[in-house]
């Protein structure tokens, strides 16, 4: 994936995300800006989903904070390659903190899907799994088959993280499935799921 994303077999993003969330019913899911949020919402809206609007690059950092604040809960970040590239520094903090309850899944289509499908750096040589390992996330790997769902789901359920999976998906423009854009509503619904009062 690091040098030739387009030559690898790639998954249908919606089918992959739906199957992954189905395998992780107890996980708190942080969905990165853009297509990852649409994929998570399309898989079924639920109070455990926290959708990012206007927070490019923040998914892994928010997932890290959530994992540290809720150490007994499973935290699953689902984001895209462009979003993770913008927040790459968060991987160093994830590695330093090493929360066992954090799993990050990067849906890598090698493009910036929200701005016109320009090639992203993962198509130009950047290997996010390699970056994650260099940051101290030992369980960081590339994948391009549905069988990786078992490995990811086991990491989530067994709290054996931190884990980062860089998953090759097809570079396609799928229809948008839009959750609520009301940030206060999303925040308070998520807080209620954690047993916290609204803010």
The whole-angstrom separation of Cα 194 and Cα 199 is 13
Judged against a pLDDT cut of 90, whether residue 175 lies above it is answered with no
pLDDT digits (tens, 9 = 90+) for 37-63: 999 999 999 999 999 987 788 999 999
Q: 3-state class of 135 per DSSP?
A: coil
- Percent of the chain scoring above 70 in pLDDT: 88
CATH T-level assignment (fold) for domain 5-193 = Rossmann fold (3.40.50)
Closest CA to 128 of 59, 54, 41: 59
Judged against a pLDDT cut of 50, whether residue 20 lies above it is answered with yes
Give the pLDDT band (50/70/90) at residue 3. very low
Q: What is the pLDDT of residue 126?
A: 81
Judged against a pLDDT cut of 80, whether residue 4 lies above it is answered with no
pLDDT digits (tens, 9 = 90+) for 138-167: 999 999 889 999 999 999 999 998 999 999
Output 127-130 pairs: Cβ under 8 A, ≥24 positions apart.
Answer: 127/1, 127/2, 127/166, 128/81, 128/84, 128/85, 128/88, 128/91, 128/164, 128/166, 129/1, 129/164, 129/165, 129/166, 130/2
Q: What is the pLDDT of residue 8?
A: 57
114 vs 143, which has greater pLDDT? 143
CA dihedral 11, 93, 74, 160 (to 10 degrees): 80
Judged against a pLDDT cut of 50, whether residue 88 lies above it is answered with yes
Range with the lowest mean pLDDT among 2-11, 93-102, 149-158, 183-192? 2-11
The whole-angstrom separation of Cα 35 and Cα 45 is 15
- Percent of the chain scoring above 90 in pLDDT: 67
């Amino acid at each position: 994936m690091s040098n030739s994303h387009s030559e690898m077999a790639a998954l249908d993003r919606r089918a992959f995300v739906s199957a992954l969330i189905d395998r992780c019913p107890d996980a708190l899911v942080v969905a990165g800006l853009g297509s990852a949020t649409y994929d998570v919402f399309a898989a079924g809206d639920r109070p455990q989903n926290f959708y990012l609007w206007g927070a490019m690059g923040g998914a892994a950092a928010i997932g890290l904070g959530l994992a540290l604040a809720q150490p007994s809960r499973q935290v699953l970040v689902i984001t895209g390659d462009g979003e993770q590239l913008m927040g790459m520094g968060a991987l160093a903090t994830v590695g330093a903190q090493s929360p066992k309850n954090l799993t990050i899944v990067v849906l890598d289509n090698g493009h910036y899907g929200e701005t016109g499908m320009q090639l992203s750096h993962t198509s130009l040589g950047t290997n996010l799994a390699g970056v994650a390992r260099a940051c101290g996330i030992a369980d960081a790997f590339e994948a391009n088959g549905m069988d990786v769902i078992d490995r990811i789901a086991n990491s989530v359920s067994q709290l054996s993280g931190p884990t980062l999976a860089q998953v090759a998906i097809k570079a396609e423009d799928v229809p948008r499935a839009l959750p609520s854009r009301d940030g206060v509503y999303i925040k308070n619904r998520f807080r209620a799921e954690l047993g916290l009062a609204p803010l």
